Chains A and B, each alone.
Chain A
Amino acid sequence: MRIEKCYFCSGPVYPGHGVMFVRNDCKMFRFCRSKCHKNFKKKRNPRKTRWTKAFRKAAGKELTVDNSLEFEKRRNIPVKYNREMWDKTVEAMKKVEEIKRKRQARFIMNRLKKGKELEKEQDIMEVKKNIHLIKAPHAGKAKQMEEKMLQKVQEDADMGDEDI
């Protein structure tokens, strides 16, 4: 029993689900659901269909080259069962999965950082241009002027005192 990969969206095809199409050149295509199957029949290229994993990897939106991804590989030579090897493998799997998730998340975060910078710049521009919508230009000016005048009066008074 194996969990196969859908040809179109690269999602998991569990046993008892999906459709398999065998072409005249003996190539097998598995599909996880009729959405992928119908898209395939319409001759759409999964590398250009934006919601598929194939597109994301090809467009550099997800982590493609990494050591943690090298662990899961289809091996064509069967290995004889050996209890300790299987145990070790299951544990290794769990650890590798963790690391893989961390790395994938990191990759996506790095990609989105640029967006954050752009956001920052946009905010600054927005504020510069449209500040008048929330704050009148001379909002605190009256007070400022008052304070300034008071200050000046005080200074004059001081000056006058000095003179005297």
Chain B
Amino acid sequence: MAMYNFKKIMVVPTAKDFIDITLSKTQRKTPTVIHKHYQIHRIRHFYMRKVKFTQQNYHDRLTQILTDFPKLDDIHPFYADLMNVLYDKDHYKLALGQINIAKNLIDNVAKDYVRLMKYGDSLYRCKQLKRAALGRMCTILKRQKSSLEYLEQVRQHLSRLPTIDPNTRTLLLCGYPNVGKSSFINKVTRADVDVQPYAFTTKSLFVGHMDYRYLRWQVVDTPGILDHPLEERNTIEMQAITALAHLRAAVLYVMDVSEQCGHTLPQQLELFNNIRPLFANKPLIVVANKCDVKKISELSEENQKMFADLSADGIPVIETSTLTDEGVIQVKNEACDRLLAQRVDNKMRGKKVHDVLNRLHLAMPAKRDDKERPPFIPERALLRRKAMEVDAPKRKLEKDLEMEMGDDYVLDLQKYWDLMNDNEKHDKIPEVWEGHNIADYIDPAIMKKLEDLEREEELKERAGEYDSDDESEDEEMQEIRLMAKQIREKKHLMILESKEKDVHGPRMPRTAAKVERKTLEKEMSDLGLDMSDKNNSHYAEQARRSRSVTRKRKREASVVPPASKTRSQSASRPPRDQSGLRDTKMVKKAKKMMKNSQKGMNRLGKKGESDRHVFDLKPKHLLAGKRKSGPTDRR
């Protein structure tokens, strides 16, 4: 048996839409380009393909419709009956039959025209054949317009039917219109059925779910039933009857004691007796609703007798009021219990039970000794249970306090604090001091630790750890320090001076610049020499002699009187390599310096210190060749 899902039936398109969709699909999905000069088999194949494609599409879609819609023989009789009531079995079957016929006709058309296409000898002929084929297929479908519309409506309605499981535990509500069936289901389950004062507010079946004894129960609400014979019933009432007939449920016949529904109690009883045969083999409860308006005890004698009769028959009559919730739970429990009992009974009588029973075994532990072992309930739980029952007044809430005090009320949570001293509750607690958190220092033993620390500190102080070492340095050291400082300063100054030198001009030898006597004496006196009375010193004498005729002191002994004027003049000036030199040691040193300064020039083959000629401006070994690895700063 195929499983049907009423909500998943594909949309049935209207005839016009169907045709449009299929034809456009054919146009899109088959090749479109064809020319007269193609080979004939190619042309034929092209058009045959189109015909077959269209036929395929129609066939697929129609088959899908046929399989999606449920076959009335295959589904549960409850649904079959319901569909019959709602959609008319004959009409339904006819519609599906028509679709089937259309499908076969389309197949035949396609077959015929494909056969004919084999004899098409030109593009035009094949094209006309294809046109004819498609045209006929579309006409067939156009004729199914009404069936398709009907099926679409059926589909929409089907998908909206409530899912009632016919095999599970169900409670069924029935009775006259307006007696309170929908209110009951609203109370007992989470369903939200329309409740209105006019009759036939509920026009179809509604399902609600509830839990009882850890099981799921269905509660089915039906439209009201009026009292007339079966043949005269309309669709809405028939739904209720169908439900009654097919669902194995506990039936709750709802009556309106106050007669507010517009029907008297005898009428309701009539109805009850009329549909009694439908209640065979179903646990039945009579629900006397709207008892807040009128109780059974307030009724007249005859009516009370009526109810007494019913109870005598073995049908429990329970008074309820869906407005005040009186008796609703009672009804529910009673109905559920009865239905469960019946279902269990049925199962026990069946054959399958023994398989299960053989495997079940309830183990009862044997008593070890006579000691009583009751379940343990903590005291507070017992107290709380008692409090819940008695509904004792709770403690005063802050909200109540706020209401009392109005504008004066200030929220002061600190009053609930549980401190050692109650008068400290409203203290402003310090948290931070000088960048430290006080909470990090809190320690019950802090005073002891502090004492230890202070003792340690005292010991350290006594041991002299904290004596400042402003060292009693001896004088010598201080002098040395002072001198070192001066030396460093002097060095720094010298460096600065040398930085200020002009190195961009020609490098003049040291002796080119004339040294003033004053600067010489100042420098030397800064260095600590005694520069007073130095008129007879060498440098002073030399200075005096430089303008006047020179008198060489050292050569006095072996002086040769000058022969000629030039000789005398040149003899009066000391040669350059001897001027300013005191003794041979100095001469040697001067010579050494001269040789030293010439070394560089001689090595490079220069003619003199001003020779800057470059023999090879562009040496080949540096500028030729490829750029290989290596530093490139030597070009």
Contact = CB atoms under 8 A, between A and B. Distances in A.
B437 interface: yes
A136 B490 contact: no
B430 A92 contact: no
Given A120-B477, A136-B527, A83 B427 contact: yes
B486 A134 contact: yes
Contacts of A97: 434, 436
B301 interface: no
Which one of B419, B453, B486, B488 has the greatest number of beta carbons of chain A within 10 Å? B453
B529 A136 contact: yes
Contacts of B466: 102, 106
Contacts of A126: 484, 487-488
A75 B527 contact: no
B230 interface: no
A3 B450 contact: no
Interface stretch (B81-89, B441-449, B538-546): B441-449
Which one of A70, A74, A80, A93 has the greatest number of beta carbons of chain B within 10 Å? A93
A106 B465 contact: yes
B441 A138 contact: no
A93 B437 CA distance: 10
Contacts of B421: 82-83
Contact of A131 (B450, B487, B526): B487
A124 B309 CA distance: 134
Interface stretch (A34-42, A44-52, A139-147): A139-147
Nearest to B489: A134
Interface residues of A, number: 52
Contacts of B441: 71-72, 89, 92-93, 96
A135 interface: yes
A85 B442 contact: yes
Contacts of A102: 457, 466
Contacts of B449: 67, 70-71
Given A3-B435, A92-B446, A86 B430 contact: yes
A99 B455 CA distance: 11
A1 B439 CA distance: 10
B438 A90 contact: yes
A99 B439 contact: no
Which interface class (under 10, 10 to 19, 20 to 34, 35 or more) fits B?
35 or more
Interface in A99-128: 99, 102, 106, 109, 113, 120, 122-124, 126-127
Nearest to B524: A136
Nearest to B490: A133
Contacts of A93: 433, 436, 438, 441
Contacts of A135: 483, 527-528
Contacts of B434: 97
A70 B526 CA distance: 60
Contacts of A139: 527-529
Interface string A137-159: 01110110000000000000000
B530 A143 contact: yes
A73 interface: yes
A90 B453 contact: no
Contacts of B481: 120, 123
Given A81-B429, A106-B466, A134-B527, A86 B440 contact: no
B527 to A, nearest CB: 4
Interface string B392-430: 000000000000000000000000011111001001011
B529 A75 contact: no
Q: Is the interface of A mostly helix, strand, loop or mixed?
A: helix
A130 interface: yes
A10 interface: no
B442 A1 contact: no
Contact of B480 (A2, A72, A74, A127): A127
A80 B442 CA distance: 10
B325 interface: no
A92 B450 contact: yes
B437 A2 contact: yes
B469 interface: yes
B448 to A, nearest CB: 10
A67 B440 contact: no
A109 B468 CA distance: 10
Given A126-B484, A127-B480, A133-B487, A90 B430 contact: yes
A82 B420 contact: yes
Contact of B454 (A81, A89, A95): A95
A92 B447 contact: yes
A75 B440 contact: yes
Contacts of B345: none
Contacts of A92: 441, 446-447, 450
Interface in A1-59: 1-3, 12
Contacts of B20: none
Interface in B474-495: 477, 480-481, 483-484, 486-488, 490-491, 494
Nearest to B528: A139
Contacts of B379: none
Nearest to A83: B424
Contacts of A74: 440
B459 to A, nearest CB: 12
Nearest to B493: A133
B594 to A, nearest CB: 25
A75 B446 CA distance: 13
A73 B421 CA distance: 26
A96 B265 CA distance: 97
B356 interface: no
Nearest to B488: A126
B270 interface: no
Interface of B: 417-421, 424, 427, 429-444, 446-447, 449-450, 452-454, 456-457, 465-466, 469, 477, 480-481, 483-484, 486-488, 490-491, 494, 524, 526-530
23 contacts: A12-B435, A68-B453, A72-B436, A72-B441, A75-B442, A75-B443, A79-B442, A80-B418, A80-B420, A82-B420, A88-B446, A93-B433, A93-B436, A102-B457, A109-B469, A120-B477, A123-B483, A126-B484, A133-B490, A133-B491, A135-B527, A139-B527, A139-B528
Given A71-B443, A99-B454, 10 more contacts: A3-B435, A3-B437, A78-B439, A83-B424, A90-B430, A99-B453, A102-B457, A123-B483, A136-B527, A140-B528
5 residue pairs, one from A and one from B, having the closest CB atoms = A139-B528, A123-B484, A136-B527, A126-B484, A135-B528
